[in-house]
Amino acid sequence: MMRISTKGRYSLRIMLDLATQQTDQASVSLRGISERQQITKKYMEGIMSILLKEGLLVSTRGKMGGYRLARAPQDYTVYEIITAAEGSIAPVQCLSKDENTCPLQHSCATLPIWKGLNDVVRDYLINVTLADLIDQGKESRPCASI
């Protein structure tokens, strides 16, 4: 079963929190995100490190320090956020890298189904942005499983 781990789900929640909480003047504190999202600060620090390294966030040190999105919410796809945290989300190992190096790839009768599934999931997640999630959130209550 293909699953997105807590790291991927929390990354998306953190990015969505930042998109809705940050202002032009101020960064958002780790503590504030932790309290709103009910994620421990220790676990969040690891996730923030990944998101910073991938260039999705910027951080500011000091008394008024915290985190901000590096770009506008409409410029982030859910796919980009999840794969930054998870790496590949391909349903099978042979599709997890840019080049399929499986020695059976040319004779594998099941490969087309896995490619199709991978394409559908990737295309769907590429076409949903943080801005879309913000707009959807205005119409419904947040889901704890995101």
With CA atoms as reference, report the closest residue to 137 among 4, 7, 8, 19: 19
Lowest mean pLDDT of 2-11, 32-41, 126-135, 137-146, name the range: 137-146
Rounded mean pLDDT, 103-109: 87
Q: What is the predicted pLDDT for the residue at 49?
A: 97
Q: What is the predicted pLDDT for the residue at 101?
A: 83
* pLDDT range class, residue 141, cuts 50, 70, 90: low
User: Does residue 73 have a pLDDT over 60?
Assistant: yes
Q: How far does CA 71 lie from the centroid of its chain?
A: 14
- Does residue 14 lie in a domain region? yes
- Does residue 51 lie in a domain region? yes
**Tokens for 54?**
């991938």
Residue type, 125: L
The parent domain of residue 31 ranges over 6-89+129-139
Q: How far, in Å, CA of 1 to CA of 138, rounded?
A: 31
**Each residue's pLDDT tens digit, 29-49:** 999 999 999 999 999 999 999
- Does residue 46 lie in a domain region? yes
- Does residue 11 lie in a domain region? yes
**Tokens for 83?**
């794969």
**Each residue's pLDDT tens digit, 55-66:** 999 999 888 889
